[in-house]
Amino acid sequence: MNTPMPKEIQNLPHFTIVTTDEALKRVCAQAAQKSVVALDTEFIRIRSYYPKLGLIQLYDGEQVSLIDPITITDFSPFVALLANANVTKVLHACFEDLEVFQQTFQQCPAPMYDTQLMANFLGFPNSTGFATLIQHYFHLTLDKGASRTDWLARPLSEQQLRYAAADVWYLLPLFYKMEAELSSTSWLDAAKQDSAILCQLRNQEKNAHHAYFSIPNAWKLNPEELARLHLLAKWRQEEAIRRDLALNFVVKSDSLWAVAKYAPKHTSDLLALGLHQSEVRIHGKKLLLLVEQAKRLSPESYPPKIKRLVDDPRYKFAIKQLQKGLKEVAPIGLAPEVLASKKSLENLLAWQWAEDKTTLSQPELLKGWRKEYGEKLLMKLDGRECCHTEST
């Protein structure tokens, strides 16, 4: 017997626009009575350091609420809903949404599921889109015509509002369909763990003292040059936050690297290094001041030269062993790349080879549902990388 299609698939989205504190309180009180709700956000991020929230979509199975953050002043009921342990929050490809929640409300949704992560455990390709999943499960093609909307503009058109509403209207039945499939496997809890990890990652604040590690080719610099880069990158991140401006709209990363490498003395030197005129005009004096400041540092305080894992003579053999071992230990029915990416294999190697493991966070492959597989990988690796190097 054919299972009837969910009501959401049989009907177009209907929604209520929430513009007042009192209306938000009512909506959140109703949602708090449900076991599962769907969430999404619309935001703008072009030149700003932080995303600019334009709309919040909430669907509790009965009502889609389009919450206008521009007119609402008291978000405490919504923050309480995000933190409500009795209400599971469902999102799709939510890493940027989590940044919005964390930055705006200092609260990630918990507990939560990301349907894109759930799809990984059901054999879909990595980063499968929402529309693709809706098409697969419900043979429905979503209209993405309003995807480039300026969500800070007002008023929003009916087409734009329906587009926003659809993202949660169809998300809830998609979750129930995928949850039922995963319940017949052993991976439902793993999908929940992976979703929670996304929140943990978003809760980790970016330390300005570590900003220089993110500058491309920082590894090519010697300790004295890294000392300059450390000051420059720290200043840029703090300036970006202060002005709410994307990092490269303060000073480009390549420009910071060049200043750190060549220690210019005059603004003309900055231009000769390829810095844009606007960078020199606005920040030239500050950049030169930081270069001078670095001269007063003692060599003992310089950061150590950055060691790349790929430069270790053991690396090529070891990573091949781990990639081979990954295919061997991955359980039947689960793609090896869901268990571990190349980056997570490298993190496992870095941790295994570290002289002082207390200075490193435990790698993903040794935590949660992946731990038993990570330990098997280390057993396969144990002793082998010590006796093999690749000639250059």
- Which two three-digit tokens encode residue 161? 């509002």
Which of 40, 68, 99, 279 is catalytic? The answer is 40
**Measuring CA to CA, how many Å separate 4 from each of 7, 173, 180, 345?**
9, 12, 15, 44
CA 164 – CA 153 distance, rounded (Å): 14
Query: In this structure, are residues 275 and 257 in contact, taking their beta carbons and an 8 Å threshold?
Result: no
In one-letter notation, the amino acid at residue 144 is K
Which of 8, 60, 68, 97 is catalytic? The answer is 97
CB atoms within 10 A of CB 343: 9
Which of 8, 42, 60, 269 is catalytic? The answer is 42
Q: Nearest Cα to 117, choosing from 42, 43, 201?
A: 201
Mark whether 254 is an active-site residue: no
CA 155 – CA 75 distance, rounded (Å): 21
Mark whether 189 is an active-site residue: no
Instruction: Tokens 């409300």: give the residue.
Output: 105
- Which two three-digit tokens encode residue 241? 């936050």
* Alpha carbon 383 to chain centroid, angstroms: 35
Query: In this structure, are residues 168 and 55 in contact, taking their beta carbons and an 8 Å threshold?
Result: no
Q: Kindly tell me the burial class for residue 205, based on how many C-beta atoms sit within 10 Å of its own C-beta (0-12, 13-18, 19 or more).
A: exposed
Query: In this structure, are residues 363 and 347 in contact, taking their beta carbons and an 8 Å threshold?
Result: yes
Which of 49, 59, 113, 163 is catalytic? The answer is 163
Mark whether 163 is an active-site residue: yes
Query: In this structure, are residues 366 and 375 in contact, taking their beta carbons and an 8 Å threshold?
Result: yes
In one-letter notation, the amino acid at residue 152 is L
* Residue spans of alpha helices (H) in 125-222: 130-138, 158-169, 171-183, 188-203
CA 71 – CA 80 distance, rounded (Å): 19
Query: In this structure, are residues 204 and 103 in contact, taking their beta carbons and an 8 Å threshold?
Result: no
In one-letter notation, the amino acid at residue 106 is Q
Mark whether 269 is an active-site residue: no
Which of 167, 269, 279, 364 is catalytic? The answer is 167
For 38, phi then psi, to 5°, come to -105, 140
**Measuring CA to CA, how many Å separate 299 from each of 34, 228, 256, 262?**
60, 12, 21, 17
Residues noted as catalytic = 40, 42, 97, 163, 167
